[in-house]
A and B are shown apart, each in its own frame.
Chain A
Amino acid sequence: MTRPTNEAEYLARLIPPSLGGVNRRTVLRGAVGLGALLGAGGLAACGSDSPSSTGVPTGPVSGTVSAGSNQSDAPPKAAIKAVMDAFQKANSGTTVKINTIDHNSFQENINNYLQGAPDDVFTWFSGYRMRFFANKDLAGDISDVWTNVTGMSDALKKASTGDDGKQYFMPATYYPWAVFYRKSVFKDKGYEVPKTLDELNALGAQMKKDNLIPIAFGDKDGWPAMGTFDQLNLRINGYDFHISLMAGKESWADPKVKKVFDTWAGLLPIHQPDALGRTWQEAAQSLQQKKSGMYVLGSFVAQQFEKGAEQEDLDFFTFPEIDPAVGTDAIEAPIDGWMMSKNPKNEAAAKKLLAYLGSADAQNIVVKADPSVIATNDGADVAGYTSLQKKSAEFVKSAKSIAQFMDRDTRPDFASTVMIPAIQTFLKNPKDIDGLTNSIEAQKKSIFAS
């Protein structure tokens, strides 16, 4: 379930990459790659500034530290190696052993992995998925690393904090969800960025007249449509309700939730039809080929665009306002990063490595390699950003509240086994909203009670 991170992934793991094409995993990998790049950044950084400047364990570290990475594709794998090499160089006597695991297998086996003999540090995601393992006592407390971290906002720290108030996560990169479009298409046709739901509907009608599919849409993998639900819920009911709904504290049969599905049903006519047989990559290609006008997705949509001019042509706006009382200051921006296992063999080196992975130097390298994500560290060099990255950074900074993604904000078992089928059922039959929300609520009660 996932942003690019979960469900798709988890189900996708079984799917061969040839079939899956680029999916979230790729995104994740990108993130990991970023992590790796971070490492690489470290390299670059090494020259001028030792990573140890960020603190963590004072004094030199030594020995072998192992890093579990789900970046199994060649380029991010190489990037991770570069980053780790840089860390080794800056900390002579320390060896980083990278244990690369196929992306899908990694996520599928995370439970067994963490209960077996996990690596000292490993790639993971923020949100409920991080807190879950912290609660289960499978993750190492890195609060002391955080005392010396610079450049990370309070929001990021909060996103790295477990239910017990300690930090368990080191953010590396993130990416916002929004409505993406091609500047050239909007310019050619004279479209205006819609600010409200009515304007969005009007724009959709106009695009239809112009033989464009207004909103590209693909939900074969089950998770991308979660993003649309999140956007609508954030606009209609606001951040607090959304988070509490995700936490299982609100009823899914609440009229507020029904209103989200109702509004969505009203928007379906301007969505690309037959979404359940289409992957997000195929939907993104229809945007890239100018067959559709807009696409609600994470900025990893850029991966389907060629680097350079084509990516420069890609732009986005925040999901339009639906209720003026709620506004548009809540957005979604999932964070990828690193965690430490419960009993690392080399704790000192692991913590130093985590501090390094969170540093601006390391992140600079990562975001350069994957322009669809942005660095979490404020100190990262934004001058090298593409215009999309610059805008993403602004966008995230100006947001008042940041949600992660449905499969990161709620229990993974609920997201994957209940919400994916439920949303797909809704897309098949948008009429029976009462039956759908009652069914979700009944399953939610059973799952959250366990």
Chain B
Amino acid sequence: MARKYKGIDQLSTRDKVVVGLMVVVPTALVLWLVWVPAIGSVLLSFTNWDGIGPLSGIKSVGFKNYVDIATIYPPFWPAIQHNLIWLAVMFFIATPLGMFLAVLIDKGVRGTRFYQTSIYLPVVLSLALVGFIWQLIYSRDQGLLNAITGGTTDWYGDPSVNLWAVLVAATWRHSGYIMLLYLAGLKGVDPSLREAAKVDGATDRQTFFQVVFPVMRPINLIVLVVTFIESLRAFDLVWVINRGRNGLELISTLVTQNVVGEASRIGFGSALATIMLAISSVLVVGYLRIVMKEE
């Protein structure tokens, strides 16, 4: 039965066609759906195209868009800063919180299912709804928070607090997501490891940090990547609130503001998108290196 594989000649014509299609079709899809748009954006970022007219009418403006972004476009640097703050909060607060909740639930507190569902609920809700729910809480004149505390803080409008107010909402949602991912991982950990740790006299804390956590390395990596990606492409919630202005600038919203709608500064928006792509690439490359090394 076990014939030795003698190379491609051994395959029938039909097999060759099938294999060929299996290679060509996905490659074409990836090229068309991923690389063409990505490279197209990069190329467009050196033009001032307004989205109207034939491609032949596009004029190159060199690095003008990039220079403008860095020098005379006031929302850009705040956007970078906000993205970094966002990343830090997700990384240091939301993700650990999600993991902590997962561990608690995994311990089997009473009403596990109830907690699990309620923590995960925000992830299921559409962001429009999430934005609306928090609007009810945060509204300056009609909101729950000010009604209870008697304050007049303009949670969504005051640029010194609105980013943090939004981050609370984002954390609310993000930690539910992380919790579910992590819970799935925890359920997959071999119970005999815990038992062995217990027999050796490890405390719960030691068991988690020295046994369970290292075993869950693949899940940890996924959680890490999810956190980075979600933070960098953070968009919807902010857009729903005030379209990413007035203290809530993020790179993704700047891209949309410039490209979508009548503004149609396609070239300028593409330059912003390219900057975002470059930042993400750094993280993706870092992630790939870790994964590759592991294998």
Contact of B52 among A115, A282, A443, A446 (CB under 8 A): A115
Q: Whole-angstrom distance from the CB of B138 to the nearest CB of chain A?
A: 8
Are A13 and B261 in contact, CB atoms less than 8 angstroms apart? yes
Closest Cβ neighbor of A274 among chain B residues: B154
Closest Cβ neighbor of A443 among chain B residues: B72
Does A18 lie at the interface of the complex (its beta carbon under 8 Å from any beta carbon of B)? yes
Q: Which residues of A contact B152 (CB under 8 A)?
A: 274
Are A277 and B239 in contact, CB atoms less than 8 angstroms apart? no
Contacts known (A278-B141, A428-B159); A14 close to B239, Cβ less than 8 A = yes
Contact of B246 among A10, A138, A424, A446 (CB under 8 A): A424
A101-120 CB contacts (< 8 Å) to partner B? 107-108, 110-112, 115
A interface size (C-beta, 8 A): 45
Are A14 and B243 in contact, CB atoms less than 8 angstroms apart? yes
Does B162 lie at the interface of the complex (its beta carbon under 8 Å from any beta carbon of A)? yes
Does B173 lie at the interface of the complex (its beta carbon under 8 Å from any beta carbon of A)? no
Contacts known (A10-B262, A446-B72); A222 close to B243, Cβ less than 8 A = yes
A273-328 CB contacts (< 8 Å) to partner B? 274-278, 282, 286
Contact of A276 among B68, B75, B154, B261 (CB under 8 A): B154
Q: Which residues of B contact A14 (CB under 8 A)?
A: 239-240, 243, 256
Q: Whole-angstrom distance from the CB of B144 to the nearest CB of chain A?
A: 15
Contacts known (A11-B257, A19-B128, A108-B260); A450 close to B141, Cβ less than 8 A = no
Contact of B245 among A15, A18, A420 (CB under 8 A): A420
Are B264 and A111 in contact, CB atoms less than 8 angstroms apart? yes
Q: Whole-angstrom distance from the CB of B142 to the nearest CB of chain A?
A: 8
Does A398 lie at the interface of the complex (its beta carbon under 8 Å from any beta carbon of B)? no
Q: Which residues of A contact B157 (CB under 8 A)?
A: 220, 274-278
Whole-angstrom CA separation of A299 from B257 in the bound complex: 28
Chain A facing B: main interface SS: helix
Closest Cβ neighbor of B71 among chain A residues: A442
Whole-angstrom CA separation of A327 from B64 in the bound complex: 42
Q: Whole-angstrom distance from the CB of A128 to the nearest CB of chain B?
A: 10
Q: Whole-angstrom distance from the CB of A18 to the nearest CB of chain B?
A: 6
Are B263 and A439 in contact, CB atoms less than 8 angstroms apart? no
Does A6 lie at the interface of the complex (its beta carbon under 8 Å from any beta carbon of B)? yes
Whole-angstrom CA separation of A136 from B50 in the bound complex: 10
Q: Whole-angstrom distance from the CB of B232 to the nearest CB of chain A?
A: 19
Q: Which residues of A contact B263 (CB under 8 A)?
A: 10, 412-413, 416-417
Chain B facing A: main interface SS: loop
Q: Which residues of A contact B48 (CB under 8 A)?
A: 450
Whole-angstrom CA separation of A252 from B141 in the bound complex: 35
A248-280 CB contacts (< 8 Å) to partner B? 274-278
Whole-angstrom CA separation of A115 from B51 in the bound complex: 10
Are A220 and B141 in contact, CB atoms less than 8 angstroms apart? no
Q: Which residues of B contact A129 (CB under 8 A)?
A: 262
Does A148 lie at the interface of the complex (its beta carbon under 8 Å from any beta carbon of B)? no
Are B72 and A421 in contact, CB atoms less than 8 angstroms apart? no
Does A59 lie at the interface of the complex (its beta carbon under 8 Å from any beta carbon of B)? no
Q: Whole-angstrom distance from the CB of A437 to the nearest CB of chain B?
A: 12
Does A165 lie at the interface of the complex (its beta carbon under 8 Å from any beta carbon of B)? no
Does B213 lie at the interface of the complex (its beta carbon under 8 Å from any beta carbon of A)? no
Q: Whole-angstrom distance from the CB of A10 to the nearest CB of chain B?
A: 3
Q: Interface readout for A377-401 with B: 1 if CB under 8 Å, 0 if not?
A: 0000000000000000000000000
Closest Cβ neighbor of B244 among chain A residues: A11
Candidate in B48, B140, B142, B263 with the most chain A CB atoms within 10 angstroms: B263
A89-111 CB contacts (< 8 Å) to partner B? 107-108, 110-111
Closest Cβ neighbor of A17 among chain B residues: B128
Are B261 and A443 in contact, CB atoms less than 8 angstroms apart? no
Q: Which residues of B contact A190 (CB under 8 A)?
A: none
Are A136 and B72 in contact, CB atoms less than 8 angstroms apart? no
A55-94 CB contacts (< 8 Å) to partner B? none
B45-74 CB contacts (< 8 Å) to partner A? 48, 50-53, 61, 64, 68, 71-74
Contact of A108 among B68, B156, B242, B261 (CB under 8 A): B261
Q: Which residues of A contact B131 (CB under 8 A)?
A: 15-16, 19
Closest Cβ neighbor of B141 among chain A residues: A282
Q: Whole-angstrom distance from the CB of A425 to the nearest CB of chain B?
A: 7
Q: Interface readout for B62-91 with A: 1 if CB under 8 Å, 0 if not?
A: 001000100111110000000000000000
Q: Which residues of A contact B135 (CB under 8 A)?
A: 19
Candidate in B141, B239, B264 with the most chain A CB atoms within 10 angstroms: B141
Contact of A413 among B68, B71, B156, B265 (CB under 8 A): B265
B225-250 CB contacts (< 8 Å) to partner A? 239-240, 242-243, 245-246
Q: Which residues of A contact B141 (CB under 8 A)?
A: 278, 282, 286
A11-67 CB contacts (< 8 Å) to partner B? 11-16, 18-19
The contact sample of 6 A-B pairs, CB cut-off 8 A, is: A16-B132, A108-B260, A276-B158, A278-B141, A443-B68, A443-B72
Closest 9 CB pairs of A and B: A277-B157, A10-B261, A11-B243, A274-B154, A412-B262, A450-B48, A442-B72, A277-B154, A276-B157
Query: Apart from A110-B261, A136-B52, A420-B245, what 7 extra A-B contacts exist at CB < 8 Å?
Result: A108-B260, A112-B51, A274-B152, A276-B242, A277-B155, A412-B261, A416-B261
Using a CB–CB distance below 8 Å, which chain A residues touch chain B? Answer: 6, 10-16, 18-19, 107-108, 110-112, 115, 129, 136, 138, 220-222, 274-278, 282, 286, 412-413, 416-417, 420-422, 424-425, 428, 439, 442-443, 446-447, 450
